[in-house]
Structure 1
């Protein structure tokens, strides 16, 4: 497989997740002036795996950027139920610990 084929093979990165906002959303601006809204989403459900019920529990950091961040910063609060669609990216915290972050492209308040 050529390097161009390998890069095309990994193009799909899309996730939809619903849950409850468990920490108050926080709006900030990057040095270049781009708005970013950050919050933590908690998801709990029961899924089926190998024909058996399995509890699913996820906590993930969400980042919503651009003009929509300003809009949602006035509409979202802790305990709101939302569905978020976007892509996953790895970010490092101040200690160098890597974490997955969902970069929201669409958000629906449930």
Structure 2
């Protein structure tokens, strides 16, 4: 049985997107997504704030480079993965499989 790892998150781009190319020649567009909403937990309202790094790879990365700016509202569908920064601190990253402007 394969374990599920799928996330849909909407929000706004909060830092300018950066286009990079991996050593293998694959384009990656990285941007920070901010999400704010009110959710229900145990019957009570709860404010939710999420800030997550999003990575979009492949040809789609090049296509979105000029489409996304700070403040763009998007919905991202993808999977979560863990990376470590230069100091060895682990972070969750949302790898986009689908990106839609809303």
Indicate the TM-score class for this superposition, using the shorter chain for normalisation.
Answer: over 0.9
2:72 counterpart residue number = 80
TM-score, structure 2 as length reference: 0.98
TM-score, structure 1 as length reference: 0.91
Q: Is the strand fraction higher in 1 or 2?
A: 2
The structure 1 segments of at least 4 consecutive aligned residues displaced by more than 2 Å after TM superposition are: none
2:47 counterpart residue number = 55
1:28 counterpart residue number = 20
Confirm whether residue 109 of structure 1 aligns to residue 81 of structure 2. no
State the superposition RMSD in angstroms.
Answer: 0.7
Q: Which runs of 5+ in 1 are unaligned?
A: 1-7
1:74 CA drift (Å): 1.6
2:88 counterpart residue number = 96
Matching residue within 23, 41, 65 for 2:57 = 65
Instruction: Please give the per-residue CA displacement for 1:52-106, whole angstroms capped at 9, x wherever unaligned.
Output: 0000000000000000000011211111010000000000001100000000000
Greater Rg over alpha carbons, structure: 1
Give the total of aligned pairs.
Answer: 102
